Structure 1
Amino acid sequence: MMPELGKYAFAVLSSYGVAITLITVLVLGTLWRSRRVKAALDEVEARRKADG
């Protein structure tokens, strides 16, 4: 059920769209960076064990 937004429908719905897009980009960026950092840490740990 969607409330009647009248002349503000475009502004409200586009604001929702922008907010959802930005949240999605932030979440995906965080996941991408965490994978890169984890891979780098795994590499450092492997090198440290090999030098050990």
Structure 2
Amino acid sequence: MIMSLGPYASFIVASYAAAALVIVILIGWVMLDYRSQTQRLRELEERGITRRSGRSATERR
């Protein structure tokens, strides 16, 4: 099934590509921040500072 996008095809495809790129960048950013925050929590726990929730940084829900 090939769709005809008309004279604006390049704009439409570029818009979808840009949106996909932004989403991929945001997902990567969140993953890196999660790792960073988990590492910070581990370091704090090693120094004896605990979380109020009582869970460790390496525990999964």
Q: % of aligned pairs identical?
A: 31
Q: Counterparts of 1:7-18 in structure 2 under 5 Å?
A: 7-18=7-18
Task: Give the alignment's Cα RMSD to 1 decimal.
Answer: 1.2
More helix by share: 1
Higher normalized contact order (CA 8 Å, seq sep 6+, divided by chain length):
2
What is the total number of aligned residue pairs between the two structures? 49
Aligned partner of 2:2 in structure 1 is: 2
CA distance in 2, matches of 1:23, 1:30: 11
Question: For structure 2, which runs of at least 5 residues remain unmatched after alignment?
Answer: 50-61
Tell me the TM-score normalized by structure 1.
Answer: 0.87
The CA deviation at 1:3 is 1.0
Question: For structure 1, which runs of at least 5 residues remain unmatched after alignment?
Answer: none
